[in-house]
Structure 1
Amino acid sequence: MAKVGIFFGTDTGNSRKVAKTIHKQLGDLADKPFNVNKASIDDLLAYDVLIIGTPTYGEGELPGLTAGTSTESWEEFLPNLTGADLSGKTVALYGLGDQAGYPGNFVDALGMLYDAFADCGASFVGFTSTEGYDFTSSKAVMDDQFVGLVLDEDNQKELSDQRLQDWLKQIESSWA
């Protein structure tokens, strides 16, 4: 059985809430979620499967001090990935964004995480459809799909539970 780690960046707590929900639904398959501001590269390397979550801040920024978060987050952590070998690791991404407020850079931070982990050789699961969202541009879209689960707690909160359940079934089947 694959060893699953859940890592998230947050400031307001929405990404943490999703991480806790993922952990609850996966049960013993996953360890307790880590806030990335308390994690090391060795923490990530200890897992076969990584579930990685992030919100997008402002005009398409990763959460971090320059984006106005109160603590360090993905912006400060990503330099730790430089030179890391994540080949053989399976990564599933989830991102939170506001498609009405930021339609031109909707969930861009998700795309940035995808690029960073791809540069380290990770394999990805959990791509999802862009159908049902209303945005103009996103760095998280590849081949007409999002590179992971996308949740809009500001405008489509009522769809989040079903989207999350469907995504978890999809990604779990890839390593089960």
Structure 2
Amino acid sequence: MKKIGIFYGSSTGTCESLAEQLAGELGVTGGDVHSADKLTAELANTYDVLVLGTSTWGDGELQDDWYDAIKVLKGMDLHGKDVALFGCGDSESYCDTFCDGMGILYEDLKDTGCTFLGNRVSTDGYSFGSSIAVVDGCFVGLALDDVNESGKTASRISAWAADLKKCF
């Protein structure tokens, strides 16, 4: 099985909690779950699969921990690396920027040579206005709204993790 590292950017703890839930579903140990502000090229290179999560802030901005971390990843040759994305958003209060942070990660990484996994997540069952995390009618990763749709979080994580496991 491929070695999986989970990196998250979290200001309030929500994305961190979701990263831990996802780790449980994927069988990833706590030592392989990291805050994005700890991401280095050396650490990223120890993993075959990078699962990257972020919350969205302000007017659709990337969470602060990712500003330096994304520069690290963009500076790497990610050929041969699998990348899966998950994002946290608020589909009610910020319906026009829902999970935009995940879309920013996707845009920043799509030309690095990585292979995206879990990037055809249906928008069915979600209520939001718009999102740059939607490409060709699907989310580029797992979109989560643990504030307004917390009752759907566990099943969404479980289903997405099951799909990812098929790729490993």
How would you bin the TM-score normalised by the shorter chain?
over 0.9
**Which amino acid letter does the alignment assign opposite residue 126 of structure 2?**
Y
Shift of 1:31: 4.9
Contact 1:54 1:95 in 2 (8 A): yes
**Structure 1 88/30 Cα, relative in aligned 2: closer, same or farther at 3 Å?**
farther
Normalised by the length of structure 2, the TM-score is: 0.94
Hey, what's the Cα distance between the residues in 2 that align with 1:82 and 1:150?
Answer: 22
Hey, what's the Cα distance between the residues in 2 that align with 1:26 and 1:105?
Answer: 28
Instruction: Select the residue among 139, 142, 155 that pairs with 1:146.
Output: 139
The ranges of structure 1 where at least 4 consecutive aligned residues each deviate by more than 3 angstroms after the TM superposition are 28-31
Contact 1:54 1:96 in 2 (8 A): yes
Shift of 1:102: 0.9
Aligned residues with identical type, % of pairs? 39
Number of residue pairs matched by the alignment: 167
Partner of 2:112: 120
Shift of 1:27: 2.3
Partner of 2:7: 7
Partner of 1:100: 92
Partner of 1:80: 72
Q: Structure 2 unaligned runs (5+)? A: none
**SS of equivalent to 2:27:** helix
Matches within 5 A, 1:31-70: 31-64=31-64
**Which amino acid letter does the alignment assign opposite residue 23 of structure 1?**
A
Q: Structure 1 unaligned runs (5+)? A: 65-72
Shift of 1:104: 1.1
Shift of 1:143: 0.8
**Structure 1 119/132 Cα, relative in aligned 2: closer, same or farther at 3 Å?**
same
Contact 2:4 2:32 in 1 (8 A): no
| Structure that is richer in strand per residue | 2
Shift of 1:32: 2.6
Shift of 1:76: 2.5
Hey, what's the Cα distance between the residues in 1 that align with 2:57 and 2:136?
Answer: 24
Shift of 1:154: 1.4
**Which amino acid letter does the alignment assign opposite residue 155 of structure 1?**
N
**Which amino acid letter does the alignment assign opposite residue 133 of structure 1?**
Y
**Which amino acid letter does the alignment assign opposite residue 88 of structure 1?**
G
Hey, what's the Cα distance between the residues in 2 that align with 1:27 and 1:133?
Answer: 27
Contact 1:3 1:30 in 2 (8 A): no
Give the structure, 1 or 2, with the largest relative contact order (CA under 8 Å, sep 6 or more): 2
**SS of equivalent to 1:111:** helix
**Structure 1 140/48 Cα, relative in aligned 2: closer, same or farther at 3 Å?**
same
Hey, what's the Cα distance between the residues in 2 that align with 1:139 and 1:28?
Answer: 29
